[in-house]
Each structure stands twice: as C-alpha cells, then as structure tokens.
Amino acid sequence: MIVMLWQRVERLLLTIWVGALWSIGFLAVPALFSILSDRALAGSIAGVLFELVGYVGLVCGILLWFGNWFLKDARSLSSRWRKVILLMLMLVALGQFVLHPMVSELRAAGLVQGSEAAAHFAKLHGLASLVYLVVSLLGLGLVWFYQPFPGTRNTSSLP
C-alpha cells in the first residue's frame, strides 16, 4: 500500500519538477523576451521565474531522493536513479546558490556593453544556462525511462 502510494507521489513530484523546468525555461522565458521590448525587464522577470523553479526543484528532488532512500525498495537502491536525482539536486543548488546570486549581483551593479563586468556576466549566464539545460535533459530522461516499482501493478494507465 505504501509503495503504491509512493509510486504516485514520486510520479507527481517528478512531473511537477520536470514540467516546471521545461515550461519556464523553454516556453515562458523565451516568450518574455519575444514579447517585452525591454530586455532588462524580461531578464529580471526570467531571473525570478528561474529562482522559483530552482526552489521547486530543490523541494521535489529532496523529497524524491529521501523518499526512495527511506522506502529502500529495489529501484531506490539502483545507483542510476538515485545518482541522477542527486546530480540534478547538486546542479540545481549550484545554479540557485552560486550562479544565480553572482549573475544577479553583476546585473544590479549595472552592465556596460564591452566592459569586463559584461563579459563576466555573459560567461556566468552561459554557464547557468548550460547547467539548466543539463538538469532539464536529466529530468526528461527520468520521465522518459520512469518505471513503476517492481512487484506492483502498472498504474500508468488510469482505470
């Protein structure tokens, strides 16, 4: 009973996390930049959205990792599943607590095109974008290869 409940919670957490990553990063933010003529405003709004997605990822990832750890079912002991979740969590934490504050600090200080600060901003922004892409692709892999717990009925099709 608990395993089947956890299976549904796990699927929900994974859907929320990965859905938020893809919805914000690949739909909402590009739309912001195409609709708003003020790129600084679009960037500020995007920064807030990415920060929110980061916190969603941290909460969902921690719950997924510890939920599997506490249940100690066959798949939770699979190094692949837990390592991917842990890697995603570490990358989200890097983005959230290291890269995002550094990018925000540079943006708040004001950027002059061609300056050293602008070049540093571009490098950090590129790194943050790469980290976000890697987390998004890892999450997509988890969703794509998601398998129900061994020994339980497949609940992928609703009755």
Residue 156 maps to a domain: no
The pair of three-digit structure tokens given for residue 97, joined into one six-digit string: 């607590």
Confidence of residue 30 (pLDDT cuts 50, 70, 90): very high
The pLDDT confidence band at residue 7, using thresholds 50, 70 and 90, is confident
Q: What is the pLDDT of residues 121-152, one digit of tens each?
A: 899 999 999 999 999 999 999 988 876 544 44
Q: What total number of domains does the chain contain?
A: 1
What per-residue confidence (pLDDT) applies to 123? 94
Domain that holds residue 78: 2-144
Domain membership of residue 154 (yes or no) is no
Confirm whether 28 is domain-assigned. yes
Joined tokens for residue 82: 């837990």
Cβ distance 156 to 148 under 8 Å? yes
Contact of 93 with 108, CB cutoff 8 Å: no
Domain membership of residue 155 (yes or no) is no
Tell me, yes or no, whether 157 lies in a domain: no
Cβ contact 19:64 at 8 Å: no
Residue 65 confidence (pLDDT) above 90: no
DSSP letters of 60-114?
HHHHHHHHHHHHT-TTTT-HHHHHHHHHHHHHHHHIIIIIHHHHHHHHHH---TT
